[in-house]
Amino acid sequence: MTYYSPDEKHLKLRSQRFVRRMFMMRQLGTVLCYVPILSVLKEAGYGIPSILLLSANAFVWPWIACLRATRSADPASAEKKNLTADAFLGGIWVALMQMSPFPSCIIMAVLASDRYAAGGLTQLKSAVKAFLCAFLPLWLIKGGGVNLELTPRTVWLTLPLATFYILALSIASYNLTLKLRKRNHELERIALMDPELEIPNRRMFDRRLESEYLSTLRGDSSGYLLLMDLDYFKSVNDTWGHEAGDFLLTQISRVLRNHIGYKDTPARFGGDELGVIVHNASDLSVMILARRLQKKIGEIRLPASSEFRCTMSIGIASAAEAGSIYDWLRHADTALYKVKRSGRDGVCLWQPPLSAED
């Protein structure tokens, strides 16, 4: 039995999906090409051997190509060789049709667009070389002429290839683009999340902070910022180890996710520094929220010590009282340090200093 690493399994699955996708496109393309090529060959007087070879290309070759790729150690590379072989076979039929203009141009356009969509310019160059290697010798052997006779039957039989296949290629390309866009969004989301706590990291927090501040300036909301510092966190690590500290932060992040509004944003700044952007609140409601968070965090117990009690210092500031995002952060930080100087385990809402007249 062959064992694969997770990365190898992922790569193999992607290659297999690529092979299946190309098999469906190849089968559709060969069947749609079969009908107009057959019409031209019959009109040119070709016999049973040519028609049997054409039938094998249309109905047998796609399965051979699929089996060849799926059984290969590198399915994606094998499939790219199959794409080159498609172009070689296409060159044979264009030569035998003596470049009958309408079906030949459509077939060459399909081959070129399909190769480029599958492998870019490198795959297209390889396909062009294979096409010319098959086309030029056979075309010259046939006299190098051009079959300008075009019957209405051949035109009608070529139209499905000119329409349905291009439509199918467009749908496949759009689906791939959509998957890539979703994957990029997911990668961006992962890059903006703290992997340990499953809450936004500082990068996303800064984005949301700016957005909430501007929303408050416009009058669309009334944003508040909570800066939170776990009291005596260093002693937790020193006494029970970093695993206990990590467990504690994980439990606190769960409290934040479960007890703030769905439009609010929790985040980790680094270490034991946490924050919450409250989307729309008042002085009273934000103080109630902070007290509730303190209560829930105080209920957390360490597996190593059921007597341990977790406390949190929280500084709060309103975006409406800040002249800039920097001021907003500074106000919340000032409130937080006021709590720490007062003995920790408290909540403080920043208030603008009284003027001399007051």
pLDDT digits (tens, 9 = 90+) for 279-288: 999 999 999 9
Q: Which of 149, 171, 190 is the last residue of a domain?
A: 190
Is the domain of 185 the same as that of 79?
A: yes
Average of per-residue pLDDT across 296-302: 88
Domain span at residue 37 reads: 6-190
* More confident call, 302 vs 349: 349
Alpha-carbon distance 280 to 218, whole Å? 13
> Does the residue 35 lie in any domain?
yes
Average pLDDT, the chain: 85
Do 198 and 256 fall within a single domain?
A: yes
Please determine, for residue 6, whether its predicted confidence score (pLDDT) is greater than 60: no
Instruction: In whole angstroms, give the CA distance from residue 302 to residue 244.
Output: 7
Handedness of CA 37, 43, 44, 48 (dihedral sign): positive
pLDDT in tens, 177-190: 777 677 777 666 66
Buried-state track 260-294, b at ≥16 Cβ within 10 A, e below 16: beeebbbbbbeebebbbbbbbbeeeebbebbeebb
Q: Same domain, yes or no, for 39 and 177? A: yes
| Confidence band for 355, pLDDT divided at 50, 70 and 90 | low
Give the bridge partners for 265, in sequence order: 277
Can you tell me the distance from the alpha carbon of 330 to that of 157, in angstroms, rounded to the nearest whole number?
74
Q: For residues 228 and 346, what is the distance between their CA atoms, to the nearest angstrom? A: 10
pTM for the full predicted model: 0.56
| 22 is a domain residue | yes
What percent of the chain is modeled with pLDDT above 90?
39
Q: Note whether 82 and 19 are within 8 A (CB).
A: no
CA gyration radius for the chain? 34
Total tally of structural domains belonging to the chain: 2
Give the SS3 label for residue 315: strand
Contact 235, 244 (CB under 8 A): no
Question: Residue 200 pairs with which residues in a beta bridge?
Answer: 193
**pLDDT over threshold 80, residue 63:** yes
Q: What is the CATH number of the domain that holds 323?
A: 3.30.70.270
**pLDDT value at 3 more than 50:** no
